[in-house]
Amino acid sequence: MDISVSVIGAGSWGTTVAALAARNTPTLLWSRRAELADQINSDHENGDYLAGFRLPAALRATADLEEAVRSADLLVMGVPSHGFRSALESVKPYLRPWVPVVSLSKGLEVGTRLRMSQLVEEVLPGHPVGVLTGPNLAKEILAGHAAASVIAMDDDNVSRALQRLFQGDLFRVYTNEDVIGSELGGVLKNVIAIAAGMADGLGAGDNTRAAVITRGLAEMSRLGVAMGGQVQTFAGLAGMGDLVATCISPQSRNRHVGERLGQGQTIDEIIAEMNMVAEGVKTSKVVMELADEYGIEMPIASEVRAVCHEGRPATEAYAGLLRRGSRREG
């Protein structure tokens, strides 16, 4: 019997995940805009976010939220963190009991500091919840390049069933029971990617980029473990893998933001030019609140927050990092 997958949110990654699932099982993609849903159905293309990439003919789209949710055997939430709670509230009346919910979002809720899986547990209690995360750049996957991802759930039986829905010839899906660590890896790497982009924008070299990635991973791991994640998760696809891809790829939104900051643009100017969300901007503030709460030193994330929210120039932020005293690595 086929499992019906519904993906809420027709951004670049939501559309890509829906395309992956559509090759294995009936899949419905919900778009807020009826025109985009019609384009996906008729032209098999998402011109808003993925122009030039052909989507599977089997993938269907709708702008009717009730239609998308009521038939779902698996609900995939592909909306950004700032709209995640309201999206969950909207799907709640139509979602059948016990249907698993998987989050694609890599952010934290501002104010509550909750992870997206925690929001699912709060708004949709009783539904198995997980995250799909890893070094996954949408356009590369749609172009057919090899990639790997992690489905993290605390129920191994459910995660193995879902693993088969997303797996493809060149898209390998691993399972992991560490939901906290896997989710935080995706959240925290966006902040470090802004720092890596700032280094590129300032004209720094590969040595600098390597130092930012390596020390950034140390910061991610310290906070992630303090919050209940497993240290080995941060050495895997959800941690190091996602961090490297996001810090080095020209397709990375967060790296793009950092690069523009390094070139002297203001954060407001950069955001105004973008049609997609760079989660690391808002997340940097929330991450530093958590770092203070848990007593974790995060100098890179601290400088990113200062540039994104306190008007500090990127040149000063890097000078601040370089002035910090050296100590034992760890």
pLDDT at residue number 1:
65
Q: For residues 115 and 54, what is the distance between their CA atoms, to the nearest angstrom? A: 33
Q: For residues 312 and 193, what is the distance between their CA atoms, to the nearest angstrom? A: 17
Q: For residues 79 and 11, what is the distance between their CA atoms, to the nearest angstrom? A: 8
Tell me the DSSP string of 210-257: HHHHHHHHHHHHHHHHHTT--GGGGGSIIIIIHHHHHHH-TT-HHHHH
Encoded amino acid at 216, one letter? G
**Residue 18: partners with Cβ closer than 8 Å, 6 or more residues away:** 5, 7, 10, 27, 28, 29, 59, 76, 78
- The tens digit of pLDDT for each residue in 104-142 reads 999 999 999 999 999 999 999 999 999 999 999 999 999
Angle CA(213)–CA(214)–CA(216) in degrees, nearest 5? 65
- The tens digit of pLDDT for each residue in 38-93 reads 999 999 999 999 999 999 999 999 999 999 999 999 999 999 999 999 999 999 99
Are the C-beta atoms of residues 278 and 257 closer than 8 Å to each other? yes
- Domains of the chain (ranges, CATH numbers): 5-177 (3.40.50.720), 180-323 (1.10.1040.10)
Encoded amino acid at 129, one letter? V
- Band (pLDDT 50/70/90 cuts) for residue 277 is confident
Could you give the percent of the chain with pLDDT greater than 90?
88
**Residues belonging to the active site:** 189
Encoded amino acid at 288, one letter? M
pLDDT at residue number 133:
97
And the tokens for 34? 């009826």
Burial 81-109 (b: 16+ CB within 10 A, else e): beebbebbeebeebbeeebbbbbbbbbbb
Maximal CA-CA distance, the chain? 61
Whether the pLDDT of residue 318 is over 90: the answer is no
Edge-to-edge strand order for the sheet containing 147-153?
Answer: 60-62, 27-30, 5-8, 74-77, 101-103, 129-133, 147-153, 171-176
